[in-house]
Amino acid sequence: MPLPPVDNSGMPQIPDFIAPTRHTDPADALAQVQRIYQQQIGHLRTAMQRFVAGETPEGAVRAFYPFVRVHTTTVARADSKLAYGFVEGPGRYETTLTRPDLFADYYAEQFRLLRNSHGVELEVGTSAHPIPIHFSFAEHDHVEGTLSPERRMLMRDLFDLPDLAAMDDGIANGTHLHHPGEAQPLSLFTAPRVDYSLHRLRHYTGTAPEWFQNFVLFTNYQFYIDEFVRLGHAEMAKEDSEYIAFIEPGNVVTRRAGLAAEPGDELGAQPPRCRRCRPTTSCGPTAAASPWSTSAWALPTPRPSPTTSPCCARTPG
């Protein structure tokens, strides 16, 4: 007798499972991380596009971060003067990863150092840690503003939301408790914590994380910001500048004189300025949502120094 059909309605909708793989080549390991991440993010974005268009999935929609894991059996490791790129002893070490497009060079370096230090394989797979839907949005996606209050509430039932309890700094602070049977942390910050920080940069500055460089200058006076913007535009007027672009809040891109605009430059738009701001005063809490009035903006100056951030994207190389 044939079995009755299985009713999968109400079951979570997840991407096809990608089984863990082992790698000795750091470049191959990174490529697998990128493959898993793109698959998972693509699943969420497609589902959200359908939800915005009016479709309602029958069950929850979920996707998960990729992970990297290493196993060591000895305290011995290659001699290194670095304070990173190795684990302290035998065991299983693991961490979740995000934005391998943004952190490709960093991940490749860490994978290479782990291989050099321990000679172990790099295991890459799909973790059990869900990706919050807000962390899957593309740079110029503004989804929730297009939804009715009822649909926004329904979205919370269908998609994973950021969980602040899973985004603490316990590993970096040394307060993380390792439970028997769990993998030990392989990095100071998990993927959700990194995503949270990237979104804080975007929220407080109105600028995409891709544009940030090694230094951030904090200021609480609007007239400082106006002056830095003036200096940035003046630098871009120089054809011999060492920088290639100046980026303002709203991802408004000004290319160096003589350089053509690049795809995506046209998407930038200046956010509204805070009406409460005055040239000699800083904005209060009521204006904190405006990137123009926030007290923390990655404002570059024409020449980099250990205490300031270059306002412009430096010429590669």
Tokens of 205: 């500055």
Q: Mean pLDDT over all residues of the chain?
A: 82
Q: Is the pLDDT reported for residue 285 higher than 50?
A: no
Q: Could you tell me the two tokens for 82?
A: 């670095």
- The pLDDT of residue 83 is 83
Give Cα separations from 66 to 19, 194, 230, 273 (angstroms): 11, 13, 42, 39
Q: Are 228 and 246 in contact (CB under 8 A)?
A: no
Spell out the domain ranges in the chain. Answer: 21-190, 209-314
In 3D space, the residue among 79, 123, 85, 131 whose CA is nearest the CA of residue 106 turns out to be 85
Locate 170 and state its tokens.
Answer: 């316990």
pLDDT average, residue stretch 36-44: 97
Q: Specify burial of residue 109 (Cβ count, 10 A radius: 0-12, 13-18, 19+).
A: middle
d(CA 279, CA 282): 8
The whole-number pLDDT of residue 205 equals 82
Question: In one letter, which amino acid is 151?
Answer: R
- The letter for the amino acid at 86 is F
Out of 3.40.50.2300, 3.30.1730.10, 3.40.50.720, 3.30.70.980, which CATH number does the structure's domain 21-190 have? 3.30.1730.10
- The per-type count for the chain, helices as H runs and strands as E runs, is 6, 10
Residue 66 pLDDT:
98
- Give residue-wise pLDDT tens across range 88-146: 889 999 999 999 999 999 999 999 999 999 999 999 999 999 999 999 998 777 776 78
- The model's confidence at residue 306, banded by pLDDT at 50, 70 and 90, is very low
203: how many CB neighbours lie within 10 A of its CB?
12
